């Protein structure tokens, strides 16, 4: 049962993370006008994403799913050990 929950949490985490990454890339491209933004542009966008209150719910959702994946992976390893 824990394997299934861990798999579902990981699938949700993957969806949210990729959605966040693609949204960040869209914002960097729109802000800079470059079709392939450089590392500094990407780091600057991460800074905006981490500080801007507009993305607070996205950050909370990603943090919650990350913690859920870690906790479920730990519980799976504890309860499936011989």
Confidence (pTM): 0.84
pLDDT in tens, 19-72: 999 999 999 999 999 999 999 999 999 999 999 999 999 999 999 999 999 999
- In whole angstroms, give the CA distance from residue 1 to residue 39: 41
Position 2 confidence tier, pLDDT thresholds 50, 70, 90: confident
Q: What is the DSSP letter of 80?
A: T
The per-residue DSSP string of 53-77 comes to GGGHHHHHHHHHHHHHHHHHHHHHH
Residue 79 in tokens: 């309860």
């Amino acid at each position: 049962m824990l394997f299934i929950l861990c798999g579902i949490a990981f699938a949700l985490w993957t969806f949210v993370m990729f959605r966040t990454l693609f949204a960040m890339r869209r914002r960097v491209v729109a802000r800079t006008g470059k079709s392939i933004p450089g590392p500094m542009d990407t780091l600057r966008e991460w800074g905006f994403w981490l500080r801007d209150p507009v993305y607070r719910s996205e950050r909370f959702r990603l943090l919650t799913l990350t913690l859920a994946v870690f906790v479920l992976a730990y519980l799976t390893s504890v309860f499936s050990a011989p």
